């Protein structure tokens, strides 16, 4: 074999070995990319929020959480509790929305977000509450607090009492507006519970759902700072917050196809990131879960016989929504039933507990909701009872 042929064969062998080696190296690298590192966790939902939670309020299911019990500042999301205490006072009849609230010097001095109240300026309680819910007005917060409790300090005490009544272990209020203060904190989970409680109050729901409002006869336009009301399908309540210490925060609620979620994000860094992170977490929940609904809160679900009453029957209503949250694909197999006595003796009071609505699956109870009487049924007089007996005979 000539020297020239030996050179050609040698070069070809070298090229072949390099090609095979490169292919093997590429295959190894590809395998490395597809093989998770030892101890790696499968990819899931991630959020830039320092703390977050996604709560389904009917069953209390936590669909997602990150450091949900961590104590953090919450800026103006504080005002959810301010609104809750104030609207509860109105619902109880202690105050009227038409009440005139007078601005004190203390309220006038408040900085940050405001509606620029003047000392001595009078405004209806309704206007003040709208300014708190939409504009996040710190001056209105103090004015309302003083109107309802006599002083901001007394109002803050009522806020903390309400937190204790809700068994919130990681919440403490120092003021009613959320400006940075020592020992003023909450957690993502606790805020979700506050919003859950607020949604039970029709006035609270109305205020937090409003997108806009004309104040001072239209001279001052209020726009809700919770942009999810425009940007996210089903969003219907919530409150934003920002301070340098708390960063961007948002507690919000949305409902789709009978399934409600409450989402809270605390401590997001970037402008509008509290909105984008909340929408991402909501999407996570709606992509994975579905609500199996049996009865709405207050809905009539049956009739119960009444003995010795002015009426023979009373409507039975569900005290709370009868609903089960499940992973998609697991909606079938639930069995609902009413647990009721054969009859109940008069007198019957509206709202009186009379039984239970029970939902089971595979023989196991998964949900129990109280059933109550839907109306008053006074006891029949002796004459009425005698006539009823005669009518049944003849």
Give the tens place of pLDDT for each residue, 33-62: 333 332 222 347 999 999 999 999 988 999
DSSP string, 207-221: HHH--EEEEGGGTEE
The catalytically annotated residue of 79, 196, 290, 321 is 79
Task: For residue 8, give the H/E element and its range.
Answer: helix 3-34
Residues 287 and 300 in one domain: no
pLDDT for the residue 233: 97
Q: Give the pLDDT band of residue 391 (cuts 50, 70, 90).
A: low
pLDDT for the residue 217: 87
DSSP string, 347-378: PB-TT-EEEEEEEEETTEEEEEEEEEESS-BP
Give the bridge partners for 223, in sequence order.
212
Residue 121 lies in a domain: yes
Q: How many CB atoms lie within 10 A of CB 354?
A: 22
Last residue of a domain, one of 242, 272, 292: 292
Q: How far apart are CA 23 and CA 326, in angstroms?
A: 48
Residues 189 and 301 in one domain: no
Q: What is the CATH number of the domain that holds 178?
A: 3.40.710.10
Averaged over 298-307, what is the pLDDT?
94
pLDDT for the residue 322: 93
Residues 357 and 217 in one domain: no
Averaged over 25-29, what is the pLDDT?
36
The catalytically annotated residue of 76, 104, 113, 291 is 76
Residue 75 has pLDDT above 50, yes or no: yes
Residues 305 and 161 in one domain: no
Show the CA angle centred on residue 206, arms to residues 204 and 210, nearest 5°. Answer: 120
Q: Is 136 a catalytic residue?
A: yes
Residue 6 lies in a domain: no
Residues 205 and 341 in one domain: no
Residue 10 lies in a domain: no
- pTM for this model (two decimals): 0.81
Residue 3 lies in a domain: no
Mean pLDDT of all residues belonging to the chain: 88
Residues 263 and 345 in one domain: no
Residue 14 lies in a domain: no
Residues 101 and 203 in one domain: yes
Give the tens place of pLDDT for each residue, 76-129: 999 999 999 999 999 999 999 999 999 999 999 998 999 999 999 999 999 999
Q: Give the pLDDT band of residue 245 (cuts 50, 70, 90).
A: very high
Give the tens place of pLDDT for each residue, 347-389: 999 999 999 999 999 999 999 999 999 999 999 877 666 666 6
Q: Give the pLDDT band of residue 67 (cuts 50, 70, 90).
A: very high
The catalytically annotated residue of 104, 113, 136, 187 is 136
Residues 288 and 321 in one domain: no
Share of the chain above pLDDT 70, in %: 86
Q: Give the pLDDT band of residue 5 (cuts 50, 70, 90).
A: very low
pLDDT for the residue 6: 41
Radius of gyration of the chain (CA): 30
Cβ-contact 55, 261 below 8 angstroms = yes
Q: What is the CATH number of the domain that holds 332?
A: 2.60.410.10
Last residue of a domain, one of 292, 326, 343: 292
Number of domains in the chain: 2
3-state SS, one letter per residue, for 244-256: CCCEEEEEEEEEE
pLDDT for the residue 59: 87
Residues 175 and 301 in one domain: no
pLDDT for the residue 386: 65
Residues 223 and 372 in one domain: no
Averaged over 213-229, what is the pLDDT?
94
Q: Is 79 a catalytic residue?
A: yes
Residue 30 lies in a domain: no
pLDDT for the residue 150: 97
Q: How many CB atoms lie within 10 A of CB 242?
A: 21
Last residue of a domain, one of 274, 292, 310: 292
Residues 303 and 170 in one domain: no
pLDDT for the residue 219: 87
Cβ-contact 171, 163 below 8 angstroms = yes
Give the tens place of pLDDT for each residue, 147-197: 999 999 999 999 999 999 999 999 999 999 999 999 999 999 999 999 999
The residue among 159, 151, 135 whose CA lies nearest residue 86 is 159
Q: Give the pLDDT band of residue 24 (cuts 50, 70, 90).
A: very low
pLDDT for the residue 385: 66
Q: How far apart are CA 162 and CA 157, in angstroms?
A: 9
Residues 109 and 204 in one domain: yes
pLDDT for the residue 388: 66
List, in order, residues 6 or more apart from 248 with CB less than 8 Å away: 240, 241, 242, 265, 267, 268, 269, 270, 271, 272, 273, 274
Segments forming the whole domain that contains residue 347: 296-393
Residue 197 lies in a domain: yes
Cβ-contact 186, 81 below 8 angstroms = no
Residue 251 lies in a domain: yes
């Amino acid at each position: 074999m000539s020297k020239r042929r030996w050179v050609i064969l040698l070069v070809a062998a070298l090229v072949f070995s390099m090609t095979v080696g490169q292919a093997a190296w590429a295959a190894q690298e590809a395998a490395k990319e597809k093989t998770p590192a030892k101890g790696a966790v499968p990819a899931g939902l991630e959020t830039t929020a320092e703390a977050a939670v996604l709560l389904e309020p009917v069953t209390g299911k936590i669909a997602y959480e990150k450091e949900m019990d961590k104590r953090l500042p919450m800026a103006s999301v504080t005002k959810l509790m301010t609104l809750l205490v104030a609207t509860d006072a109105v619902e109880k009849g202690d105050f009227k929305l038409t009440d005139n609230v007078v601005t004190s010097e203390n309220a006038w001095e408040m900085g940050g977000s405001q509606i620029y109240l003047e000392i001595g300026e009078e405004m209806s309680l309704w206007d003040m509450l709208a300014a708190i819910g939409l504009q996040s007005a710190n001056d209105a917060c103090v004015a309302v607090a003083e109107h309802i409790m006599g002083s901001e300090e007394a109002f803050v005490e009522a806020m903390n009492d309400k937190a204790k009544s809700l068994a919130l272990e990681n919440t403490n209020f120092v003021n009613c507006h959320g400006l940075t203060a020592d020992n003023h904190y909450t957690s993502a989970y606790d805020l979700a519970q506050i919003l859950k409680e607020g949604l039970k109050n029709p006035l609270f729901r109305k205020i937090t759902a409003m997108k806009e409002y004309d104040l001072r006869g239209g001279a001052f336009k209020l726009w809700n700072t919770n942009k999810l009301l425009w940007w996210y399908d089903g969003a219907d309540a919530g409150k934003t917050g920002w301070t340098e210490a708390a960063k961007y925060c948002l507690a919000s609620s949305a409902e789709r196809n009978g399934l409600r979620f409450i989402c809270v994000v605390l401590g997001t860094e970037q402008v509008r990131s509290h909105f984008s992170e909340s929408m991402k977490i909501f999407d996570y929940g709606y992509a994975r879960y579905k609500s199996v609904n049996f009865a709405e809160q207050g809905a009539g679900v049956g009739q119960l016989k009444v003995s010795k009453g002015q009426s023979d029957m009373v409507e039975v209503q569900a005290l709370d929504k009868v609903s089960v949250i499940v992973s998609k694909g697991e909606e079938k197999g639930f069995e609902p039933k009413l647990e009721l006595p054969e009859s109940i003796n008069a007198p019957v009071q509206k709202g009186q507990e009379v039984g239970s609505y029970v939902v089971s699956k595979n023989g196991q109870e998964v949900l129990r909701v109280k059933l109550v009487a839907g109306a008053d049924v006074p006891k029949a007089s002796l004459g009425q009872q005698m006539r009823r007996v005669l009518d049944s005979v003849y």
